[in-house]
Amino acid sequence: MSTTEPLAVSERGRSLLTRPILNKGTAFTADERDAFDLHGLLPTHVETLEQRADRVRMQLALETTDIGRHVLLREVQDEDETLYLRVLLDDIEDLLPIVYTPVVGEACQKFSRIYRGHPRGLFLSYPDADRLEDMLRAVPRAPDEVAVIVVTDGERILGLGDQGADGLGIPIGKLSLYSACAGIDPAGTLPIILDVGTDNEERRSDPTYLGWRHERVDGDDYDAFVDRFVQAVKTVFPDVLLQWEDFAERHAHKLLARYRDQLCTFNDDIQGTATVVTASVLSAMRRSSRDLRDQRVVLVGAGSAGSGIAEQLVQAMVAEGLAEDEARSRFYMVDRPGLLTSDMDGLEPFQVPLAQDPAAVADWQRADPSETTLLDVIANASPSVLIGVTGVPGLFTEEVVRGMAAADEAPVIFPLSNPTSRAEATAADVLAWSDGRALVATGSPFDPVTIDGVTHTIAQSNNSYIFPGVGLGVRAARARRVSDGMFMAAARALADAVPAHHTGDSLLPALADVREVSRSIAVAVAAQAQAEGLAPETTTEELEAAVDATTWEAQYRPYVPGD
């Protein structure tokens, strides 16, 4: 997308300066100040984008807390979207944890208290169920300009639980990464909170809380409200990509199954998380010269994220030639009751295909015959891969990690819960307890760890590697739907983007290269969409040109007066 072609702008004066997608602040040229009645509203000196970015960096250096840096960057975003994304792109490895995990968790907990009043995103509240379509139409953009919606109901924010309307911070952060990591035009992004109340009494009793102060709506009333929202989206924005984010597991799978064939949609917690983890595991297999089909996998946390990861890894094993039944037999899902077996009562429908046959584990040795614990699974199954998505800090104890290291020479251990305070283990502990042999990826950022003179760079298995590139590929290809095959293509493209491995190297590419990685993922996703008949066919050259033409760059464009 060209940054040199002049853009026709109809706003003038203060109105122009209040539009973050158009505002250039002190970078408006002398001619633009003449044309748009800006003299006197800005300091005299004309600056470049880089000079404005340097000022933001100086201001960031003055902040003493990460939440202070987050708030400052949000203020910049609400004033000048291009400047915000330029600063983020130029230092994405350091700033991604500030604008997203782990700091976005604290920002959601304090969302109402740090709210400045800028109208970013939509609050769609249950009492307004009859006017959802009108509220969507009130968005100040043409329907075909809205490319991506990220929506949450705030019930399962990271590992922090129900944050109610304060969960809007998650869609805001996600859409920032669509633009920063893959070049989705920020003018075409729309964060939405479905405010159906909250069961978080601390939120409801907080005098600063901005959401609907009511117990969380559930059951048929909840389903009807979400359906009204989806039908309104289909009417107002028929070509949009809709991403579901941080919904409780009792809703997540159901909503995805219900709507995935009605519009272009996916659930990032189920599919995005599964994809980046699959890529990380494939990378670990290359590092250790092993085949995925031969591994035994323990997944701790059998909710929507854990089951999504397991299902995608099953399909990756099948792609390597393993029969599906055999692949499923290699997975051990551990949740609150211990190892899930198919004879248990109360299993969720999505857990049933992943539950172990009780006959296959009947002769296992157990510390307590009434349950099969994580340690029991490790001792009896001798797994090579351990993945945690529980939100339970410290769950991967020294005994657990040493058990994995005893069972495998290069155990793959991924404590993926975030924010950092919820991680199942620290990277340093996993490497220390495995004598530096574990292949580690985490959900939150961790500093490099040195063991026996070898420095290990810790991969952050973050969805920001995946969903932006998927979104770019979907938009560039004009895909009608998002398929599981498209996510598998994304996983393989991400794994292929990892440079040649050396001991201690990260299992994923450097975040500094995320734009190039997202382009590769977008091309792979778009090609898969075409192969499945979900997008118009083009040549490879045309497809790559479409991806590049869809990519927005964080540079100021020249303006000319419009009507």
Question: Per residue in 226-267, pLDDT tens?
Answer: 999 999 999 999 999 999 999 998 999 999 999 999 999 999
CA distance 317 to 330: 10
Percent of the chain residues past pLDDT 90, beyond the cut = 92
202, 207, 264, 279: which is closest to 233 by C-alpha?
264
Residues of each annotated binding site for a divalent metal cation? 245-246, 269
Do the domains at 105-263 and 271-462 have one common CATH topology? Answer: yes
Residues of each annotated binding site? 156, 245-246, 269, 418, 462
Q: What is the DSSP letter of 264?
A: S
pLDDT, tens digit, 9 for 90 and up, residues 481-490: 999 999 999 9
CA distance 491 to 466: 8
- In degrees and rounded to multiples of 5, residue 385 shows phi and psi of -130, 130
Q: What is the DSSP letter of 271?
A: I
Extract the tokens encoding 46: 């004309």
396-403: long-range pairs with CB below 8 Å, 24+: 396/424, 396/425, 396/429, 396/430, 397/425, 398/429, 398/433, 399/375, 400/374, 400/375, 401/425, 401/429, 401/430, 401/433, 401/434, 401/438, 402/433, 402/434, 403/375, 403/378, 403/379
Q: What is the DSSP letter of 272?
A: I
**How large is the average pLDDT for residues 256-280?**
96
Residues with Cβ within 8 Å of 93's Cβ and at least 6 positions away in sequence, in order, are: 510, 511, 512
Tell me the one-letter amino acid at 256: L
Residues of each annotated binding site for (S)-malate? 156, 418, 462
Considering Cα of 339, then 342, then 345, then 351, what sign does the dihedral take? positive
415, 543, 441, 416: which is closest to 489 by C-alpha?
543
Which superfamily does CATH assign the domain made up of 105-263 to?
A: Malic enzyme, N-terminal domain (3.40.50.10380)
Average pLDDT, the chain: 95
Angstrom CA distances, 84 to 21, 64, 76, 167, stand at: 10, 20, 6, 21
pLDDT, tens digit, 9 for 90 and up, residues 92-109: 999 999 999 889 999 999
Residue positions annotated with a catalytic role: 100, 174
pLDDT of res. 1: 56
pLDDT at 382 over 90: yes
271-462 fold: Rossmann fold (3.40.50)
552, 525, 561, 421: which is closest to 86 by C-alpha?
552
Angstrom CA distances, 47 to 43, 196, 361, stand at: 10, 45, 69
pLDDT of res. 459: 95
Extract the tokens encoding 350: 């999505």
Domain range summary for the chain, segments of one domain joined by +? 105-263, 271-462, 465-550
